[in-house]
Amino acid sequence: MRLRIPHRTPAVLAILGVAAAGLTACGKDATAPTPTIDGNYVAIPMGGGTARVDTKTLGVTANADGKSYELSAPAGDALGATGPVRVTGATATWSYPDRALTVSATAEDGRLRVTVHSDRDGSLRWPVTGTDAASSALQLPRGEGLSLPVRDPFWNGPDTGLIGESLPLSSALTMPFWGYRVGDRGVGYIVPTDIGSSVTVNSEGGRLIADATHDFAARAGTSDYTVDFALTDASPVAAAKDYRAWLIRHGEFRSLHDKIDQNPEIARLLGAFHAYLWGEARTPEAIAQMKTLGLSKMWLGYDSGNDPMSEAAVTAAKNAGYLAGPYDSWANAQDPATADNPSSRWLGTVWPDGCVHDAKGTPETGFGNRGCYLSSQALNQDPALYRDRYAAMTANGANSYFLDVDAAGEFFDDATPAHPMTQRQDRDNRLARMRWLSEDRKTVLGSEAAGSWAAPVLAFDHGAQNPISDRLWTLQRDRQAWGAWYPDTAPKVFFQPVDLPADLITAMFDPVYRVPLYETVLHDSLVNVDRWELSYYKLPQQETMRALTAMLNNTPLNFVLDGKTLQEHGPEMARLQQFFAPLHERAATLPMSDFRWLSDDHLVQRSVFGDGELTVTANFGTADYHGLPGGCVDAQLKGDASPRRLCPAQ
């Protein structure tokens, strides 16, 4: 089940006003419109127009402003004969007896809501989106977000790491929605039933078509499948604004301001850069050096090896105004006698009894073929196992904690008789233990690539910033190119610079395609940072682009530091952080209220936070734009006479 936390006023009411821009809400009340039947079509008023659902095929169109838009082509699977259509109040229902499917359609908050229930296990490929001839761009929340021209040769080609890949909405995408620009409007698709649902982008006739699929399974609790359709505007982040409004309307949004009220230590994140420390960088002396350099605020992490930060180093970090804490993972178990890291060693018989097993009784092999995936249900049966782990790892006074994997959304069905579990239960378990860390233990909690479902219990995440291509994992397995796990004090996997191949640069770092969908939804809910193995100096050719993006999105940079790196790059880090800090301190708790392209080539971009509290203009190109040089960013805080300028490469 999704976490439901009441939002607060007056701040959230102001946020709601921003979030709902572009959406005409009907509301869910006694005045909800009554569907009408026109032959084999059901017509339902929705915000900005009228939706028409073809009961024979599940094709969906909408009429608005005198134009017709195809929201979905007919279902990709045969449905069989259609049962009679009935209208009860504001809901129309019909069935497909051959498939044991029952469909209901209604209006909710200005959107068309269609729910398909199945009485037997199976799958349905629907909706089929992007088929309208006027569709021009696909918005997809992969990492931060992408806006892909539907006829773009690269994205229709074989080197994207995207085409033909089934993307589970609970893990491969950071949020369970997608959208299209269609003519001078947009269409947004939200799937509240994200577990068991996926979307696949295919190239058909040189165009990007997104097909959704839902797997119905009674045991998994996925017998119901819901899709909300919305007519939006033509903004590249319109679908994200619509999803944000949906989260707030359903009580599933929690503001960063509210989290700071509950735990003031979270305020230390405002203005802070993030860094994982190795070797000499974990000492009190290194902390003092950071402060002397002018790094006013930092989040400092360290791996779960045998050389954590000492109590003296953590105390020095806290006295400097920093956050410091360990990396940990509760998702892997290995034989304690041969485990390759302390996080995978558990007391008692957790190994192998706590492993996730598939229906055939085979253990689910852990990440990187190490040990097994550890069942959250098994740990849930004895919470002392992870609570004692937390106490031991924070005995040095750590005031933050990074729990890997938990928020990333890779859930498991566990067939182990001693601890059976569905993916839904797995998510509930992870939410419960993250909530224990953040609310009971009052720790400043972060996790990996946080899906929107996890945002209410987190203060920050590492990994949702970048639209990762699966081809990155192939490159990382090449230890010669990417770097190996040695030396212990500065593993090359983190410190060895890498020049990415052209396809990865385009897929992950080309600003022409990246749009801040994640920040549009969640900027004022948690602090979003890039992955730790993609530290700032790991990818030297992307440094300027990433610095501009960080300022544009009002999100911190992430570093990996040893003594040598701090010595070489400390002054530059301080220059970047001193530019970022006042911007983030003012805007971190405000929504990203606007994003737009200022140039036809999409290389000049502008973001706005709150009611104009901060406006940022970034020029990713090489030519001047109205006085803003290429490779530079201007940030205008309300009340300042002129913008502040940063040119990272200079």
Residue 613: inside a domain, yes or no? yes
- Predicted confidence at residue 407, as pLDDT, reads 97
Q: Could you tell me where the beta strands, DSSP code E, fall in 264-317?
A: 273-277, 298-302
Residue 350: inside a domain, yes or no? no
The residue among 209, 227, 249 that closes a domain is: 249
- Predicted confidence at residue 561, as pLDDT, reads 98
Is 90 exceeded by the pLDDT of residue 409?
no
pLDDT in tens, 603-641: 999 999 999 999 999 999 999 999 999 999 999 999 999
Q: Which domain holds residue 625?
A: 596-646
Residue 121: inside a domain, yes or no? yes
Nearest-5° angle of CA 569, CA 574, CA 579?
Answer: 135
- Predicted confidence at residue 194, as pLDDT, reads 98
Does residue 446 sit in the same domain as residue 563?
yes
Cα–Cα distance, 188 to 517 (Å, whole number):
12
Does residue 191 sit in the same domain as residue 298?
no
- Percentages (nearest 5) of helix, strand, coil residues in the chain: 30, 30, 45
Does residue 168 sit in the same domain as residue 102?
yes
Confidence of residue 11 (pLDDT cuts 50, 70, 90): very low
CB burial of 315-345 (b: ≥16 within 10 Å; e: otherwise) equals bbbbebebbbbbbbbbbbbbeeeebebbbbb
Token code pair at residue 527: 């602090």
pLDDT (mean) for 387-415:
96
Does residue 230 sit in the same domain as residue 244?
yes
CATH code: domain of residue 306? 3.20.20.70
**How would you classify the pairing of strands 197-204 and 166-168?**
antiparallel
Does residue 211 sit in the same domain as residue 288?
no
Residue 423: inside a domain, yes or no? no
Cα–Cα distance, 104 to 115 (Å, whole number):
5
Q: What is the mean pLDDT of the chain?
A: 94
Q: Residues 174, 452: contact at Cβ < 8 Å?
A: yes
Is 50 exceeded by the pLDDT of residue 263?
yes
Residue 361: inside a domain, yes or no? no
Does residue 451 sit in the same domain as residue 565?
yes
Q: How many domains does the chain have?
A: 3
Does residue 566 sit in the same domain as residue 608?
no
Q: Residues 465, 504: contact at Cβ < 8 Å?
A: no
Q: Taking the CB of residue 163, how many other CB atoms lie within 10 A of it?
A: 15
- Predicted confidence at residue 10, as pLDDT, reads 34
Alpha helices in 530-627 (DSSP H): 543-553, 563-587
Is 50 exceeded by the pLDDT of residue 4?
no
Q: Residues 539, 546: contact at Cβ < 8 Å?
A: yes
Confidence of residue 305 (pLDDT cuts 50, 70, 90): confident
Does residue 191 sit in the same domain as residue 321?
no
- Predicted confidence at residue 228, as pLDDT, reads 98
Residue 347: inside a domain, yes or no? no
Q: Residues 146, 140: contact at Cβ < 8 Å?
A: yes
Q: Which of 35, 36, 131 is nearest to 75 (CA)?
A: 131
The residue among 249, 265, 288 that closes a domain is: 249
Confidence of residue 195 (pLDDT cuts 50, 70, 90): very high
CATH code: domain of residue 112? 2.70.98
Does residue 199 sit in the same domain as residue 320?
no
Strand partners, 177: 190
Does residue 23 sit in the same domain as residue 134?
yes
- Predicted confidence at residue 25, as pLDDT, reads 38
Confidence of residue 29 (pLDDT cuts 50, 70, 90): very low
Residue 419: inside a domain, yes or no? no
The residue among 249, 278, 303 that closes a domain is: 249
Q: Which of 148, 154, 232, 247 is nearest to 187 (CA)?
A: 232
- The share of the chain scoring above pLDDT 90, in percent, equals 92
161: left (phi over 0), alpha (psi -120 to 50) or beta: left
- Predicted confidence at residue 48, as pLDDT, reads 83
Does residue 152 sit in the same domain as residue 240?
yes
pLDDT (mean) for 290-308:
95
- Predicted confidence at residue 306, as pLDDT, reads 86
Residue 224: inside a domain, yes or no? yes
Does residue 620 sit in the same domain as residue 587?
no
pLDDT (mean) for 3-20:
35
Structure pTM? Answer: 0.95
Cα–Cα distance, 638 to 262 (Å, whole number):
28
Minimum mean pLDDT range among 302-311, 321-330, 521-530: 302-311
Question: How far is CA 283 from each of CA 325, 409, 559, 571, rounded to the nearest angstrom?
Answer: 14, 34, 17, 19
pLDDT in tens, 542-575: 999 999 999 999 999 999 999 999 999 999 999 9
pLDDT in tens, 162-173: 999 999 999 999
Is 90 exceeded by the pLDDT of residue 22?
no
Strand partners, 96: 101
Cα–Cα distance, 32 to 26 (Å, whole number):
7
Is 80 exceeded by the pLDDT of residue 5?
no
Q: Which of 144, 251, 272 is nearest to 607 (CA)?
A: 144
Handedness of CA 382, 387, 389, 391 (dihedral sign): negative
Mention every residue, 6+ apart, whose C-beta is less than 8 A from residue 295.
273, 570, 573, 574, 577
Confidence of residue 8 (pLDDT cuts 50, 70, 90): very low
Q: Which of 118, 6, 105 is nearest to 60 (CA)?
A: 105
